[in-house]
A and B are shown apart, each in its own frame.
Chain A
Amino acid sequence: MNSPFTGGKAKMRYTTYQLTDRVNNAIRRNMRSLAATTLISGVAFGLAGCVQVAAPDKPIVINLNINIKQEVVYRLDGDAKDLINEEADIF
């Protein structure tokens, strides 16, 4: 008798050494399949990430319906002029 519950209702199908010590035991099989799934999904995710880097063909539309108040524009006007003079090569 392998089971410690010889007199009980439930009968264990495996003893502890059967679950853990065998080369192809249930826990190892589970861990192997989990590792394989993680690796495959990781590679797939990495590939998907690389593809996403391509620049869109359509022009980038910038929505101007944002809260720009005239007073803000007046406040920033001097700094904007400074920037345009400082970095004249990109303006």
Chain B
Amino acid sequence: MFEYMKNNKALTILGGLALTAVVATPVMAQRDPAYEAARSSGAIGEKPDGYLGYVSSPSASTKALVEDLNIKRKAAYTRKAQATNSTVEQFAFTSGCNLIMRTTPGEKYQAPDGSWQTRSSAAPTRDSRCP
């Protein structure tokens, strides 16, 4: 078997790729269950500025969760803003447009007037500049 693989480089590379795929699959980005629960319970929601906000006064754990995610979001926005020659606010706002559009029915989002809305199956109320 090893002799055969030694003589067949293509097979060895394929085997390596297959192994990489098996190892890489569990690392796929997924929402944390606590974050998912806070979203679907309506405790937190998406704001037009691209960050998460509190719909009701948050528990300590929810607050920690949201602050952590917002810091990570800001880091991602900053990185992408540099790559696209835009400001962090511009990129965050554009992401906010998309994130509000992607909320699922039952989740909360903030309308341009600042009020918290529950997403229905209809299109959400967004800023007029959103695509």
A positions within 8 Å CB-CB of B: 55, 59-60, 62, 64, 66, 68-70, 72-77, 79-81, 83-84, 86-91
CA separation between A15 and B130, bound complex, in Å? 82
A79-B30 contact, Cβ under 8 Å, with A72-B90, A73-B131, A87-B76: no
Proximity string of chain B (40-52) to chain A, C-beta cutoff 8 Å, 1 when within and 0 when not: 0000000011010
By the criterion CB–CB under 8 Å, are B97 and A79 in contact?
Answer: no
How many A-B Cβ pairs are below 8 Å?
Answer: 80
B positions within 8 Å CB-CB of A: 29-32, 48-49, 51, 53-54, 67, 69-70, 72-73, 76-77, 80, 83-84, 86-87, 89-91, 93-95, 97-99, 102, 128-131
A74-B131 contact, Cβ under 8 Å, with A80-B95, A84-B98: yes
By the criterion CB–CB under 8 Å, are B129 and A90 in contact?
Answer: no
By the criterion CB–CB under 8 Å, are A89 and B97 in contact?
Answer: no
